[in-house]
Amino acid sequence: MIWNSNNFITSLIIAISVLINLLQDVRCEKCQAPEIDQEKVEVLCLNLKKLSTGIIDNGDGTIKSATYFDYLEDSCSQSSEAIVIRCKIGYQNKKSKGEDAFLNLCKDGKWKYENTDSDDCESICGKLFEEKLKPTPKPLLYQGNEVDIKLAPWHVAIYRNSSNTFEQICGGTIIHSNVVISAAHCFYDTSYGELFDASHFWVGAGKRFRRYEADEPLAQFAHVKKIYLPLTFQSQPLRSDIAIVILDRHFKYNPVIAPVCLDWELGPDSRHSNLAATLYGWGDTKSTGAPSEKLLEINLIAMENAECKKMVDPNFRSDISKDKFCAINKSNATACGGDSGGGLITRRQGYKLTGVVSEGLNADSYCSNGFVTLFTRVRIFHDYIKTTVSENRNDEQNIKIQLYNFKDNFN
């Protein structure tokens, strides 16, 4: 066999060129996406279904015909007709500075933009505007300390509106400019076994003070538009106690309003043992029921269920279900009434939402020494959160309309 180095080099160059072309000129009728960082970017493969053809009144005396489409998201099958590439929740497109801006759209093998680069997505979650700020140490009952809202810009107050009186009932955590994670039981009417109407609730962000009417120039408010609970939620005993709250407007981020990160890539079985975390809230500071007027923080250590069950009264051990974990403070600081729904925040490569305040366990008295707080494990609901948020982003972004505008005709 005769070795010909020139032929080898030529073949290698051709092979490399083919590979580069395959990566750069991905044809979306085969539902193939570029080799991009899946940590920052999500890819939606769509099957478009023609619904109807009708007339649009432009409101200015003119009309035009239009074809309406619906879409089905699937697992990138060979029959998929279009691709949408966009930054994941917690990232924004650096080029457009829009958190919801697409990186690329593809239809009939044609990409809207020449290149797709995951580095165009920059993280905007789990960051503080001013890292050097420190909480003001003013010990209150249960060792809670006053905290500057700039150190917890993702924490929000949930208000229930009754006869134009806004009562702070729970806490929550911003994960997207119009999405908050809280506890399901905050929105559930146990008397009738159903959700309260979303119109009863408001969310306040950027607030240091509990009162809705407090004078805080950077605070923003939004009306609750939709409330989603897992199908596995039950009120007694509490199970799957987590809610996804969709707001009717987007919060504008500033030094006191920002989203926290979620561990999208971590599995639901990840352990929580000895995990250091921080909780914020305006909950009761006395066993008689006296909410704090200023935002407080406590530091907690999470533990696994087997360890936690050894600490509580045997009558409460059944409450420590697989969807929950415990967290305690060595100085007996604890969550209390009004803190439900608040996020337990850990710091691992940024600030991340790990748990949601669900309930407390103590056989003797309310919010006293030995009071153990149970948190819903956020990671267990990874897929539910991701799917629900994605569906609402799809509706809001009008993906089918943008694809329609990209190509004059889908037929």
For the residues of 343-377, what is the DSSP string, one character each? EEEEESSSEEEEEEEEEEE-SSSTT-TTPEEEEEE
Distance (Å, whole) CA 3 – CA 18: 23
Average pLDDT over residues 111-124: 85
Helix, strand, or coil (residue 40): coil
Q: Which is higher by pLDDT, 115 or 71?
A: 115
Question: Would the pLDDT of 70 be above 70?
Answer: no
What sign does the dihedral 147-149-152-158 (CA atoms) show? positive
Domains annotated on the chain, with CATH: 25-124 (no CATH), 141-388 (2.40.10.10)
Of these ranges, 116-120, 130-134, 193-197, 243-247, the one predicted with the greatest mean pLDDT is 243-247
Report yes or no: 256 and 354 within 8 Å, Cβ to Cβ: no
Distance (Å, whole) CA 87 – CA 40: 6
DSSP codes, 122-176: EE-SS--S-TT--------GGG-EE--GGG-TTEEEEEEEETTEEEEEEEEEEEE
Query: pLDDT tens-digit profile of 3-55?
Result: 445 554 555 444 444 333 333 334 445 556 667 777 888 887 776 655 444 44
The vertex-59 CA angle with 223 and 246, nearest 5°, equals 15
> What does each C-alpha distance from 177 to 226, 230, 259, 281, 316 come to in angstroms?
14, 21, 7, 20, 37
Distance (Å, whole) CA 168 – CA 291: 9
> What does each C-alpha distance from 7 to 17, 19, 161, 302 come to in angstroms?
15, 18, 78, 63
Q: DSSP state, 286?
A: S
Instruction: Read off the pTM.
Output: 0.80
Q: Which is higher by pLDDT, 70 or 235?
A: 235
> What does each C-alpha distance from 46 to 9, 109, 190, 356, 395 come to in angstroms?
41, 13, 40, 33, 14
Q: Which is higher by pLDDT, 151 or 407?
A: 151
Of these ranges, 88-97, 132-141, 346-355, the one predicted with the greatest mean pLDDT is 346-355
Pairing of strands 220-228, 201-205: antiparallel
Determine which helix (DSSP H) or strand (DSSP E) holds 392, and give its type and residue range.
Answer: helix 382-397
